[in-house]
Every structure is written in C-alpha cells, then in structure tokens.
Amino acid sequence: MEPRDLSANSPYVPGRGIEEVARELGLDPDDLVKLSSNENPHGPSPDAVAAVESAASDLDVYPTTSHADLTEKLASTWDVTPEQVWVSPGADGAIDYLHRAMLDPGDEILVPEPGFAYYSMSARYVHGESSTYDLSKAENFEQTAENLLDAYDGERVVYLTSPHNPTGSEFPREELVSLLDSMADHTLVVVDEAYGEYAEQPSAIDLLDDHDNLAVLRTFSKAYGLAGLRIGYGVVPESWADAYARVNTPFAANELACRAALAALDDDDHVEKSVESARWAREYLYENLDAPTWESAGNFVLAEVGDASAVADACQREGVIVRDCSSFGLPECIRISCGTEAQTKRAVETLNRVL
C-alpha cells in the first residue's frame, strides 16, 4: 500500500527544538538560547496558565465546535459579528480553513517571496497552485500595492503579511486600501497579522466594514506566548454566514487552548510588557550587531551576515539558535527573534564573535 503521489507537496520542516539541539551538541538545554521561532521569551500570561490548570479537570469533554465563548469575546474585541470569527488551531489552521472555503482544484494563490511557506503548502493540500510576487531586498523589502499588482493575474487568494516574516516590513494601510479597491471581484485579500501586536499600524480588521474581499489572520502564538497550545483565528467577511461550519475540522481548536486564549485576552499588561520588551530588543540588535539589519515591526530582526548557514551553525555551537534564512531564499541573512534582555545580549555577543 502506498499513499498517492505526494511529490508536489513540500515536506514541512520545522525549526529544531532546544532539546534536540542540546542532545546533538552535548550541551545542557538550560544553557541554550532559542531565538529562531519568534516565540515570546516571557511566556504566556500567568492567568492563561491558571486557566489551563483549572480546565484540566474537564479533559474528558469535547469542546464545542463553535468555540462560542472565545468567538464572542473576539467579536466584541474587534467589533465584528461572532460569525466573522473563525477560531482555529493556530493561524495555520485558519489558512487551511480559508483555502477550503475559497479554492477549487487548480485555483491559484499569490504569495510574497520571501515569505511564510505555509500559504503554498496549505493550498497544495486542496490541489491549489501558487505563484509569487517579489519583495525586493534592494528596496528594503518595501511592501506596496503597485508591486503586488504588477504580479497579480486574477488569482483567487492574495496574501500579504504585515508585519512581514522574515523582513519585519509593514504593508502601509493606505496601500492596502488601494489594493482592496483594485482587485477583481473573485479575489480574496488575506492580511496575515500573526505579528500584529508588535506593529506600528492598527489592525486591518476595521476595513472589513467597507470591504467584502478581505480576511485577516491573527494568532495567540506570538505576543500572547501560547505557541504550544495552537490557537489562532481568522476574521472573515460578514456575508460568509455559515461557511465556518462547513470548513472547520471539528474540535480542532482544543478546550485548554480556548480557555487560555480567553484569559490571555484579559491580561493587557502582559501583552504590553511583551511588546515593550521586543521593541527594546529590536533597538539593541540594530545598534549593537556588527551586521546590517532591517528595521522591523515584528518581534524579530533580519540581518545580513554573508554565509547565513555557516554563521547560524557557528552560533548554534555556542548555544544560541538563530534562523538561517536560506529556506526563505535569503542565503545571506539570518533572522534573530527578540529575546529577554539577557538572551538578546548573549545573542549579539555570540554573533559578533562568529561573524
């Protein structure tokens, strides 16, 4: 027995965890600093942890498929209807749900290059295809409607990421409005705001009031520090009514994750402190790293270091894990997540030694 031909599906290769790297290098995991996955180094809100602990007595019960409490809370946070909120296992899950809702076999999506790999992978799962628009390094990865429209060829779904991964650039809001007004009626524009809490600009969610061709993705994996629980959501056009019930994987967003997310939403202080800390780390990286960097609106900084693979390997041997951006098509760049003060200082000191 063989699976069908899967050669067109790129395999998912996750960043390696601390335990795995520690074992390989014979190092103590406690001595390693992982700044390769844009996680929150301060972890989740203590209230989210308490919510998970108290939910542990209900593990035998299925979650509701509508995730009503979290959905309603998010709807009131963003001033949209509960039907517009699609709770999902991470933003990744929301990408899958959008593709199930939008793509027939052979339909195309348009994605940024360099950019987040999962958009194209997920499209393949439903037999969709993808093409790319380029963000140019020579123009500091600036994001504009014109640049995207130059590559646009009537695709069914168009992605933009703001702040962008791995560059940290934002898609200016006035450019987004002009993009939404320029697209063919059958095209959905998806704004991925996985790093939205760190951004200088407000969320695009309010643009849904006037634009029926927009969906926005958000996650609890980054500023809320809940990556391990896998919880995120999409906010979709009001006219989509009962589409969620037709595309979601039943019970995929688990009850512990939903309760943690609910508690996390009430702890504004924790998010503010996490964002402040990331701002400090960004500045520290710009000012102290002996390599050119790009200004970032995310919780990470892209730096040009020559041979990224060699630099990331050397750094890892010294106990600091950063992201080699070769897989993003940037073999001369690394991406460094914003750590705590101690982690960020150690990363800079280590990188400056190996550079």
The token duo for 225 is 């520090």
Among positions 83, 192, 255, 318, the unique one binding ligand PMP when judged by CB under 6 A: 192
CB of 5 to ligand PMP, least distance (A): 27
35 binds ligand PMP (CB under 6 A): no
Q: With respect to ligand PMP, which residue has the nearer C-beta, 161 or 274?
A: 161
CB of 298 to ligand PMP, least distance (A): 8
92 binds ligand PMP (CB under 6 A): yes
96 binds ligand PMP (CB under 6 A): no
The token duo for 170 is 């934002």
122 binds ligand PMP (CB under 6 A): no
| Interacting span for ligand PMP (CB under 6 A) from 68-76, 144-152, 219-227, 315-323 | 219-227
Site of tokens 């498929």: 65
221 binds ligand PMP (CB under 6 A): yes
Q: With respect to ligand PMP, which residue has the nearer C-beta, 161 or 344?
A: 161
Among positions 116, 152, 284, 300, the unique one binding ligand PMP when judged by CB under 6 A: 116
Contact letters for ligand PMP, residues 240-279 (x by CB under 6 A): ----------------------------------------
232 binds ligand PMP (CB under 6 A): yes
Virtual CA dihedral for 176, 178, 184, 188, nearest 10 degrees? Answer: 20
Among positions 91, 258, 289, 347, the unique one binding ligand PMP when judged by CB under 6 A: 91
Contact letters for ligand PMP, residues 301-340 (x by CB under 6 A): ----------------------------------------
| Interacting span for ligand PMP (CB under 6 A) from 88-96, 241-249, 304-312, 316-324 | 88-96
161 binds ligand PMP (CB under 6 A): yes
CB of 321 to ligand PMP, least distance (A): 15
109 binds ligand PMP (CB under 6 A): no
Measured in whole angstroms, how far is the alpha carbon of residue 38 from the centre of its chain? 9
Q: For ligand PMP, which residue has the nearest CB?
A: 90
Contact 168, 147 (CB under 8 A): no
| Interacting span for ligand PMP (CB under 6 A) from 87-95, 101-109, 283-291, 322-330 | 87-95
165 binds ligand PMP (CB under 6 A): yes
How would you write the chain as a 3-class SS string? CCCCCCCCCCCCCCCCCHHHHHHHHCCCHHHCEEECCCCCCCCCCHHHHHHHHHHHHHCCCCCCCCCHHHHHHHHHHHCCCHHHEEEECHHHHHHHHHHHHHCCCCCEEEEEECCCCHHHHHHHHCCCEEEEEECCHHHCCCCCHHHHHHHCCCCCEEEEECCCCCCCCCCCHHHHHHHHHHCCCCCEEEEECCCHHHCCCCCCHHHHHCCCCEEEEEECCCCCCCHHHCCEEEECCHHHCCHHHHHCCCCCCCHHHHHHHHHHHCCHHHHHHHHHHHHHHHHHHHHHCCCCECCCCCCEEEEECCCHHHHHHHHHHCCEEEEEHHHHCCCCEEEEECCCHHHHHHHHHHHHHHC
Residues in contact with ligand PMP by CB under 6 A are 38, 90-92, 116, 161, 165, 192, 194, 219, 221, 227, 232
